[in-house]
Structures are given as C-alpha cells and as structure tokens.
Amino acid sequence: MKVELVFIPSPGVGHIRATTALAKLLVASDNRLSVTLIVIPSRVSDDASSSVYTNSEDRLRYILLPARDQTTDLVSYIDSQKPQVRAVVSKLAGDVSTRSDSRLAGIVVDMFCTSMIDIADEFNLSAYIFYTSNASYLGLQFHVQSLYDEKELDVSEFKDTEMKFDVPTLTQPFPAKCLPSVMLNKKWFPYVLGRARSFRATKGILVNSVADMEPQALSFFSGGNGNTNIPPVYAVGPIMDLESSGDEEKRKEILHWLKEQPTKSVVFLCFGSMGGFSEEQAREIAVALERSGHRFLWSLRRASPLVFIPSPGDGHLRPLVEVAKLLVDRDDHLSITIIIIPQMHGFSSSNSSSYIASLSSDSEERLSYNVLSVPDKPDSDDTKPHFFDYIDNFKPQVKATVEKLTDPGPPDSPSRLAGFVVDMFCMMMIDVANEFGVPSYMFYTSNATFLGLQVHVEYLYDVKNYDVSDLKDSDTTELEVPCLTRPLPVKCFPSVLLTKEWLPVMFRQTRRFRETKGILVNTFAELEPQAMKFFSGVDSPLPTVYTVGPVMNLKINGPNSSDDKQSEILRWLDEQPRKSVVFLCFGSMGGFREGQAKEIAIALERSGHRFVCHVALMDGGSSHVALLKFIQDVTKNIS
C-alpha cells in the first residue's frame, strides 16, 4: 500500500528548508511514501518560498500557494491561508481515493501552523507536528502550559523576579527572568499556551533533535514520567539543508576546521533566521562559551537595526516615535535609531523643542535618538529653502549617522542594517537607503483614503494626461476614486492637489512611494474598509500597505492643552456608547478660516452624531487632542 503525506511548513526560509529536507529524507527511506509540500508564501522574502525549491520530483511535489493579504501578523497570515490549503488537500484526497493501492495517511504541520490541524480533522486525517526547534524547548513549552492549566501559575508574572522553575526536560532549575520573551509578554502568552495545547492533540511530534544531544529531554518524552497526555515524540534530527547560498569560501573554511576537530568535541550554537542579539547579550554568550572550555561554532548576528526618519514637526515626529516604541517592545531582536531633522527656522515651538530634548535624554539600548545639527540661520527670508530642499540638505548628515550605526567591527562582518522607515515627506532619504543597499518603507501619517486619492490623482496625470488642477473652479466635475465609496467633487480636493505650484512636487513624492518595499499607514481596516480593500487587491498600484494605526501620543503638553482639559475630554468619551463618537483631526498643520470652521460645525451638528473635533483656526486659536496606539511589526529581508 502506498502512503501519501501532506507537509505544511511555516513561511520562512529556516522552516521551509528544514521541512523539505525532512520530506526528502522520508521519501528516500521508504519507496512507498510520497509527500506533497504545500508552501505558504513568505511575507518578507520571495527566496524563502518560491525560489528555494521549484522542481517537483517523482514522489516529492511542491505546491506554492498564491500570496494573500500580508499586512497582518504571522499567526493571522498563516490562518488566512486555510481556505487555499483546504482546497489543495481536498483535491489530493479526491485523487488518492481513485487509486486502490494508495491512501492519504496524514498531515504534518509546522510548529507555527497549528491552525491547519483543523483541516486534518475535517478530512479525518492524523495530524503531526514538525518541531523545528529542540526537544528541551518543546519540554519547556509544555511545562509552562501545564503550570498555567493545572496550577494556575502564569510565568509572565515572574519576569522581574529571581524565581526558578524545575523543568522536566532540563537538568537544572531555570530562572523565570530568562524565559523567552514570548512567554513573558502578556499579549503573546495566550498564543504560547494555545499552541502547546494544540501539540497535545496531535498523533505525534517530530522534533529536530537527536537523543545523544538531549538525553534528559528525550528520556522524559520516551515515557514513564507521568507525561501520558503528550503524544509520541520522534527525534528525527539533526535535519539540515546543506545547500549554501552564502559565502562559499567561508563555508569551506568552517567545514575544513570541523573535520580537524575530535569527534563530539564541538559545541554549535544557532538561533534561527530571526535570532539576533544586542552587543551586551552577544558578549555574555561569548564569555559563557569561553569559560566552558569547549571548542565552539556559532551562527550569530546582532539585533537588526532599523533607521526611522520622521519629517520635522510634532504631528509627524510623535507618531513615528510611538511606532518605534511599540516595535521594540514587541520584538526583542530589533533595535531602532530615530534620526531627527530639526524644524526650519521660524517653525519650531517651545513644545516641540522640549519634546525633542526629552527624547535625547531617553535613549536606551534598543531605541536611540540622534538629533541632527541645526543649519545656520539664513540671512534673510529670500534665502529660505523650499521645505523639500531643506530636508534634502540633511542627506550627508543622515548618511554619516548611519555609517556610525552600521560599523561592524570585524572586517568580514556584513552590515546587519535592516532598512529605513521614512516619513511621507522624507522620500528623498530613499537615496541614502539605496546607498547602503537596504530596503525602504514609508510611514504615511495621514489616512489610507487620502493616500489612495493622492496616488489616483498622480495616475490620472501620468497615465491619462489629466490635470485635476484645471478643474478646481468647476461646480459639476466629480471623479471616481477607487478608495472612496462615492464620486468626489474636484473643487473639494485638498488645495495642495489643486495648486499648480505644488502639484509637480506632490507628483515627484508620490512616484517615489512605489520604490519602497511597503507603506505603513496610520489607520486600521475597520475605519477605512473601502480603501484597505483596494490596497489589498491584486490591482493595487502600491507595494504592501500595512495598517499600523491608530498611532497616538497621549502625553499632552503646552499652554493650551492642560491635564484638566484632557481629563474632561476622556471622561466625556468614557460616558458615551461604544462606537458612537466621530473624531475629526486635521494634523498639526491643518487650519481653517472662521467660515470654514463654521461649515464643519454645521455639518457635524446636522449629522446627529456625537463628535470630538480638533480644529486650529488660522488666526492662531488652537486646541489640542491626541490619539492612541499602534499594532504591527516590520520584518525585514535582511541580507
């Protein structure tokens, strides 16, 4: 009887390569076995999926799924692939059912693809886990979950203590503060627990290890220790893919050195394709290895630095700082340097200056701030540079700052710079990113609908030879804009899109949006479903659009924004029914004449909705309301 298996690796080169190597090993070991690998496209690198293995063989087939919405987190992204995976398994099950000498025996899912177990259940197939990490960590994961489920002990509550745990798969007590960050993070801890519970529901776990390497852990999993609710654990490792895409000479040097060492004398440390460390952490590892007295080989990289470049101005600087804080809080392997361009002469306020000063003193290991030098004050207003020219003049300083940031130390150590995230008004800094050979992302502080409008107006001009500014005085002309639900009168377009002087400048900026690897927009899908549906479609004119909002800085300062006023607004909001309040904010530079403000007030009043409105009057009157939160990581394809 011939047996068919389905393998579903997690997107990511370290998982796809290991799973493929295991599948090859299985079909080579038994000619009755055939394997179909369902490959989920990587969110960050084509090489991690479509380009790794392309040619199916007699009993080893690859099915690369089409890409879907890549703006979500990894767990949601994998879960979104279930309909496509289900369709593939259904077709395969149908094909196998027509052959009397074959049967579909089960599905082997990656440790991060446990949601696919549901599909195995739907087709009455056995589900197995391929655990690409080691058996000791698998045991730690099970132990943490059993502490919570059986003893109601939440290990994340002990992250700042000296408490230690006796873990059955480890030979010594383990300090709680040394647990992986994902287990100490309140947001991700439920996911860790759910994944361990899913593992227990499978028919077996294939772990990338060998008994000689982890005798304590594999002795525990072999039974007799009261672990009856853990399925069989198969030590199938070490599974390795020896096809190298890196430095061939370096690879030969390493292998030559290894052959010269005594058998079983070398310790090997590898932390996965996403594992990175700060300088302090790497130093601790090095000291421990040195003191161990063992020969060792390690695959190590520093925490991947990102460079953030906000546009001058509170409304752009503050949100990007909040994005940076949330990213480093979420990913321990990420570090961010925010390069701050000072405001132009005459535009800086005391609030802005004090905020920048506070940032400079708040730098920490993985989030630092670098304020560039203020240019000499021009002699007269006649020599005042254009705003974009002003920012462009900072390129040399930005380049010098990044060069210091990426100074690797050893000559053969490549730069681990992950990329640039530049503000929507700092697109010229893409040139600096290109000099370093790293990708750029854009942070769009406005909303997705305006982004769509901006791109559509540029498309009309470049492709259709249609200049909307020619129709600014028309009372009847309306345009269909893909990200809007109804036609928009041209006379209601933002003035910057109707001004002959500014339109070419806007077009130059907009064209550069397409040079980025992705766009982070300060919004969320529920707020702008029409726009985000357009950007997530196959006809989107832009790279991947990530909804990372609403990003807000809740610290209010300044003479017109007292704590009492903030408390009053928040107290009023708390008293309103959920989803009942309209909020209007036009940015730090948005201002209206008295007549325009009255029109907005009348429209809000007639809408019948509760509302909070932040309006700056052009004559200088101003109030200030700030916003809240962000969600999402930027994972980079790091060379």
pLDDT at 380: 47
What is the spatial distance between Cα 183 and Cα 142, in angstroms, rounded to a whole number?
Answer: 12
Q: How far apart, in Å, are the Cα atoms of 208 and each of 82, 144, 165, 312?
A: 25, 21, 24, 50
**CATH architecture of structural domain 2-235:** 3-Layer(aba) Sandwich (3.40)
Residue 305, preceding bond cis, omega within 30 degrees? no
Amino acid making up residue 112: F
Q: Which of helix, strand or coil describes residue 477?
A: coil
User: Which one-letter amino acid corresponds to residue 149?
Assistant: D
CA gap 85, 90 in Å, rounded = 8
**For the segment 44-65, what is each residue's pLDDT rounded down to a tens digit?**
555 444 445 556 677 899 998 8
What pLDDT digit, counting tens, does each position of 317-339 carry? 888 998 888 888 776 667 889 99
Q: What is the CA radius of gyration of the chain?
A: 28
The helix/strand/coil state of 106 is strand
**pLDDT digits 0-9 by tens, 248-288:** 787 888 889 999 999 889 988 877 665 666 666 778 888 88
Candidate list 15, 316, 333, 456, residue with the active-site label: 15
Q: Is 15 one of the catalytic residues?
A: yes
| Residue for token pair 């305006």 | 450
Kindly tell me if the per-residue pLDDT of 630 is higher than 50.
no
As beta bridge partners, residue 478 has 489
**Mean pLDDT (whole number) for 75-89:** 90
Is 241 one of the catalytic residues? Answer: no
**Where in 354-402 does DSSP place strands (E)?**
367-371
pLDDT (0 to 100) of residue 36: 93
At 437, the amino acid letter reads G
- Phi, psi dihedral angles at 78 (to 5 degrees): -65, -40
Tokens of 589: 């530079």
Q: Which amino acid is at 155?
A: V
Q: 10 Å Cβ neighbour count for 123?
A: 15
Q: Taking Cα atoms as reference points, which of 18, 235, 7 lies closest to residue 132?
A: 18
Task: Point out the catalytic residue in the list 69, 110, 392, 539.
Answer: 110
At 430 the pLDDT is 94
Q: Under a CB-based contact definition with an 8 Å cutoff, are residues 467 and 503 in contact? A: yes
Lowest-confidence segment of 7-16, 136-145, 364-373, 581-590 by average pLDDT: 581-590
Give 214-236 pLDDT, tens digit per residue. Answer: 899 988 888 755 566 899 999 98
Domain with CATH 3.40.50.2000 in the chain: 2-235, 305-445+513-558+627-639
- Give the range with max mean pLDDT: 258-262, 380-384, 521-525: 258-262
CA-nearest of 223, 229, 221 to 202 is: 229
Q: For 50, list phi and psi in degrees, rounded to 5.
A: -65, -30
Long-range contacts of 410-418 (CB under 8 A, 24+ apart): 412/250, 414/639, 416/276, 416/301, 416/302, 416/304, 416/305, 416/638, 417/304, 417/305, 417/307, 418/304, 418/305, 418/306, 418/334, 418/634, 418/636, 418/638
Are 324 and 308 in contact by the 8 Å Cβ rule? The answer is yes
Tokens of 526: 């529920």
Do 17 and 116 meet the contact criterion of CB atoms below 8 Å apart? no
| Complete edge-to-edge strand list for the sheet that includes strand 2-8 | 60-64, 33-39, 2-8, 102-110, 126-131, 204-207, 233-235
What token pair was written down for 197? 């519970």
Query: What's the first-to-final CA gap in the chain, in angstroms?
Result: 46
Tokens of 597: 């403000």
| 326 and 185 Cβ atoms separated by less than 8 Å | no
Q: Which of 391-405, 457-471, 623-637 has the lowest mean pLDDT?
A: 623-637
Q: Which CATH number applies to 305-445+513-558+627-639: 3.40.50.2000, 1.10.1740.10, 3.40.50.11820, 3.40.190.80?
A: 3.40.50.2000
